[in-house]
A = this chain, B = another copy of it.
């Protein structure tokens, strides 16, 4: 972490892979995590905040403010999360020490707005949960896009099946109205969809490296992954896990590079038919070469340059050990 490190705000629904993303961001010298906002998704916004505070404290980073964000999506109510994937407490039923810190006053949207003004033109936003807080912040401050340098969003599915419906991915499907607002905003947004996140995995050897690390945070992550690996067994045919949220974080940081990420129109189906929650990404005309649409500021990541796992494990075990 250096004074020149780029300020990053993370919006998350912590979540096992969110926890990996937090650990990765803390361990990345290119950036400084200046705030965390939570939202209901994998677990409730309140539980996600508790988890985030506990993880930050385990890493010795109690200086990072955490704000509790939206409990409910813009339309409808929180569905209760996915305890069969992320555990009853959102972090694989691993018990972390009760955090000594508390969430800051105000909502996640308010924290985001404060940080955007504080780091005007420099703040990089990474989202790994539903986009409710961003939509609320945009509604409260239409000038937000001018204050934010970039948005990197884990979410959606372009040319692969969804994970909560035939065509919808969970983060987008959990608040399609918010996602429609966020992708329809004119700012530099990079969508990191299932097309790529499912192709990056942690394996048992990676989990062992986490467990054997000197870092309490890395050890906790290794324990959390036990449940997550179970969930993915039928998908991959082996105990492993996808790297949804940490891939978005790594692409935002620059630890992994998108080698194919065309600038193309993206919208979200916020209707109530079979496509609800789908990211509708216009990839026509990309067969012969990757073609950026002129004036379009939404990109979708379709290929990356290197496997994330070795880089992720190196950072989380190495850097965390230094602070643990």
Contacts and interface: CB of A to CB of B under 8 A. Distances in A.
Residue of A167, A237, A281, A288 most packed against chain B (CB within 10 A):
A167
Interface string A228-268: 00000011110000000000000000000000000001011
A264 to B, nearest CB: 8
B284 A275 contact: no
A159 B282 CA distance: 12
A288 B237 contact: yes
A160 B285 CA distance: 11
A244 to B, nearest CB: 16
- Number of copies of this kind of chain in the complex: 2
Contact of A269 (B159, B235, B237, B273): B273
A272 B275 CA distance: 11
Contacts of A162: 284
A164 B269 CA distance: 17
Query: What is the size category of the interface that chain A forms with chain B?
Result: 20 to 34
Nearest to A195: B159
B237 A284 contact: no
A296 interface: no
Nearest to A284: B161
B275 A280 contact: yes
Nearest to A167: B280
Interface in A276-308: 278, 280-288
Contacts of A282: 161, 165-166
Interface string A43-60: 000000000000000000
A235 B287 CA distance: 7
Interface in A53-89: none
A270 interface: yes
Nearest to A272: B271
A284 B281 CA distance: 19
A143 interface: no
A212 interface: no
Given A159-B160, A159-B161, A274 B284 contact: no
A284 B163 contact: yes
A283 B235 CA distance: 12
Contacts of A268: 274
Given A161-B159, A235-B287, A269 B280 contact: no
A275 B281 contact: no
A275 B273 CA distance: 9
A274 B283 contact: no
Given A159-B159, A160-B159, A237-B288, A166 B275 contact: no
Among all A-B residue pairs, the 3 with the closest Cβ atoms: A275-B275, A271-B273, A166-B282
18 contacts: A159-B159, A159-B160, A161-B282, A163-B284, A165-B282, A166-B283, A166-B284, A234-B285, A235-B285, A236-B288, A237-B288, A268-B274, A269-B269, A271-B273, A273-B273, A273-B275, A275-B275, A275-B278
Given A167-B275, A273-B275, A274-B275, 15 more contacts: A161-B283, A161-B286, A163-B284, A166-B265, A166-B282, A166-B283, A234-B285, A235-B285, A235-B287, A236-B288, A268-B274, A269-B275, A271-B272, A271-B273, A271-B275
